[in-house]
Structure formats: C-alpha cells, structure tokens
Amino acid sequence: TFTAWCNSHLRKAGTAIESIEDDFRNGLKLMLLLEVISGETLPRPDRGKMRFHKIANVNKALDFIASKGVKLVSIGAE
C-alpha cells in the first residue's frame, strides 16, 4: 500500500504514519517524506496549530513538488 511505502521511507527519519489523511493533514510529515526521498531540504515548516499554518506547510510541499517539474492540476492545500 502507499502507506507502507511512505513508512518505508519515513522510518529513515525515525517516524511513521498510520493514516495518510490524518498524518499528512498538517504538512509536517509530508514535508519530511519529500526531504527523505529527494535528499534535499525543504523550507522550514510552520509549527503553529492553526489551519493557516497547516495550509502553508502543505503548500510548501506542493511548491517543492512543482519545482521538480511535476505538473499539479487541480491540486491544492485546501
């Protein structure tokens, strides 16, 4: 499953996910996964708990993906 694939990479960073929907919601583990699989450092995540912090983190992850040439159509943080 995709969750198992994510966990195989996230274990390298000492963490794991149980639910993609719940664990990637704030963008922190999504950003970490992208760092692990790309070997690059993403911008520093926002650590706040409010909705706009979470959206900002997911946007940082999506911007990173787009910067690698992946075309994101109708995909957004909200």
User: What's the pLDDT at 71?
Assistant: 92
- Architecture (CATH level 2) of domain 2-67: Orthogonal Bundle (1.10)
Q: For 35-78, how does the pLDDT look when each residue is reduced to its tens digit (9 = 90+)?
A: 999 999 999 999 889 999 999 999 999 999 999 999 988 887 77
pLDDT for the residue numbered 12:
97
Q: What is the dihedral of CA 32, 38, 42, 45, to 10 degrees?
A: -10
| pLDDT for res 77 | 79
- Residue 29 burial (CB < 10 Å; 0-12/13-18/19+)? buried
Rounded CA separation 18/32 (Å): 15
- Tell me if the pTM is above 0.95: no
The pLDDT, as a whole number, for residue 20 is 94
Q: Count CA atoms closer than 13 A to 72's CA, side-chain side.
A: 13
Residue 76 is predicted with a pLDDT of 78
Cβ–Cβ < 8 Å for 29, 15: yes
